[in-house]
């Protein structure tokens, strides 16, 4: 039996990213999920673990337009969205598009920009459009923002507000490599820069077709109700001040469809939901002060919610 187009996409992406990034197949799979959902990703980890390299390698693997924005305190919203300028030759105002007008945006160190500049991304991330001086223009599809931030260094940074965090489909971390993986990294970068060998393997039109295929994956009512039960449990948990929104429920629904498609299944299982609930929900939750004092974090609380929420056990019917 031939693999599905979505499964081929996952393998092809993993092979190309694997030319540069050693190991981390689970992270690459989550990035593939984000692409299939046309969702945005926040890559959060300490310096030196390859956050920017991961994003650049992913972009190089796609035959799509790519822009990188280095976020700094002096970056203005117009530096991201674009500006109108007066063309003396034509004696008319013309629009000069900013870097946001691309398929893949690398927002490097996003938390170093001021809240005003961060908020310039809100419309683009949610509605796939930008409005400058009253004129709205659509962004190209697919459109995905890959943002990086360092959670350790706080001086000179501006934490992302909840409204901004809620626009990210996933928050992921890369983590330290194993000893064997770190040796492989040294050897891989010993004599060459492997990013130069990465080839684009999927076009924008192909990705749009795959997005449509992923959304055809069947989700049984029991699984949909399970997703809602997890979201409702976050809203009622004593350690959580602000729980998951309906946007988060929809994000988990779509991400589970994409993960099932990558695994060549035509239906979503509860295990798909459990695999994704942390990356989808954790960054959207605000813990109560008492919980933070006890050393709790969102992922620990989510793990306890998953353990105590009944899992669907009936056979999952597949679409006819």
CATH of residue 233's domain is 1.10.8.80
Is 139 in the same domain as 287? no
Please, what's the b/e burial string for 49-59 (b: 16 or more CB within 10 A of its CB; e: otherwise)? bbbbebbbbbb
In a domain, 316, yes or no: no
Is 46 in the same domain as 181? yes
CA 81/CA 139 separation, integer angstroms: 11
In a domain, 180, yes or no: yes
Is 135 in the same domain as 255? no
pLDDT score of 175? 83
Question: Residue 253 corresponds to which tokens in the numbers above?
Answer: 């629904």
pLDDT score of 312? 87
pLDDT score of 1? 47
Does position 42 have pLDDT exceeding 80, yes or no?
Answer: yes
Last residue of a domain, one of 212, 238, 271: 212
CATH number where 26 lies: 3.40.50.300
The dihedral sign for the CA sequence 147, 148, 149, 151:
positive
pLDDT score of 306? 92
Position 47 confidence tier, pLDDT thresholds 50, 70, 90: confident
% of the chain exceeding 70 in pLDDT: 93
Q: What is the DSSP string of 114-140?
A: -HHHHHTTHHHHHHSEEEETTEEEEPP
pLDDT score of 158? 83
The dihedral sign for the CA sequence 116, 121, 124, 129:
positive
pLDDT score of 88? 76
Is 136 in the same domain as 224? no
pLDDT tens sequence across 101-110:
999 899 989 9
Position 37 confidence tier, pLDDT thresholds 50, 70, 90: very high
Name the 3-class secondary structure at 146.
strand
The residue-averaged pLDDT of 239-265 equals 93
In a domain, 160, yes or no: yes
| Long-range contacts, 130-136 (Cβ 8 Å, 24+) | 130/81, 130/82, 130/98, 130/100, 130/101, 132/78, 132/81, 132/82, 132/83, 132/84, 132/95, 133/84, 135/95
Give the residue among 8, 22, 65 at the shortest CA–CA distance from 182.
22
Position 319 confidence tier, pLDDT thresholds 50, 70, 90: low
pLDDT score of 294? 58
| Average pLDDT across the chain, whole number | 86
The residue-averaged pLDDT of 137-163 equals 83
Domains: count for the chain: 2
Last residue of a domain, one of 191, 212, 233: 212
The dihedral sign for the CA sequence 292, 294, 299, 301:
negative
Name, of 41-45, 73-77, 150-154, 271-275, the range with top average pLDDT.
271-275
- In DSSP terms, 87 is beta-bridged to 92
- Show the domain range for 165: 5-212
Question: Residue 297 corresponds to which tokens in the numbers above?
Answer: 């974090």
pLDDT score of 315? 53
pTM: 0.87
56-65, 86-95, 128-137: least confident range: 86-95
Contacts of 188 (CB under 8 A, 6+ apart): 20, 22, 194
Position 97 confidence tier, pLDDT thresholds 50, 70, 90: confident
CA 165/CA 285 separation, integer angstroms: 10
């Amino acid at each position: 039996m031939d693999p599905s187009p979505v499964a081929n996409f996952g393998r092809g992406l993993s092979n190309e990213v694997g030319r540069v990034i050693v190991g981390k197949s689970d992270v690459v799979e989550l990035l593939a999920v984000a692409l299939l959902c046309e969702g945005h990703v926040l890559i959060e980890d300490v310096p030196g673990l390859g956050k920017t390299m991961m994003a650049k390698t992913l972009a190089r693997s796609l035959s799509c337009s790519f822009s990188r924005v280095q976020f700094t305190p002096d970056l203005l919203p117009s530096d991201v969205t674009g500006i109108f300028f007066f063309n003396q030759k034509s004696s008319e105002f013309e629009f000069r598009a900013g870097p946001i007008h691309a398929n893949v945006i690398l927002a490097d160190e996003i938390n170093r920009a001021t809240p005003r500049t961060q908020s310039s991304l809100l419309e683009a991330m949610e509605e796939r459009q930008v409005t400058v001086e009253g004129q709205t223009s659509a962004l190209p599809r697919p459109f995905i923002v890959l943002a990086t931030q360092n959670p350790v260094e706080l001086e000179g940074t501006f934490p992302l507000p909840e409204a901004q965090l809620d626009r990210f489909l996933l928050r992921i971390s890369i983590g330290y490599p194993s000893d064997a993986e770190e040796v492989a990294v040294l050897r891989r970068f010993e004599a060459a820069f492997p990013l130069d060998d990465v080839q684009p393997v999927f076009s924008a039109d192909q990705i749009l077709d795959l997005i449509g295929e992923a959304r055809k994956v069947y989700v049984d009512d029991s699984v949909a109700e399970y997703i809602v039960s997890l979201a409702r449990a976050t809203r009622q948990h004593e350690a959580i001040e602000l729980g998951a929104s309906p946007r988060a429920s929809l994000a988990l629904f779509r991400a589970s469809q994409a993960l099932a498609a990558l695994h060549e299944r035509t239906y979503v299982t509860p295990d798909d939901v459990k695999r994704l609930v942390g990356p989808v929900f954790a960054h959207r939750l605000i813990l109560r002060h008492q919980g933070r004092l006890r050393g709790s974090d969102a992922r620990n609380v989510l793990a306890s919610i998953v353990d105590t929420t009944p899992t669907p056990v009936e056979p999952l019917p597949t679409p006819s």
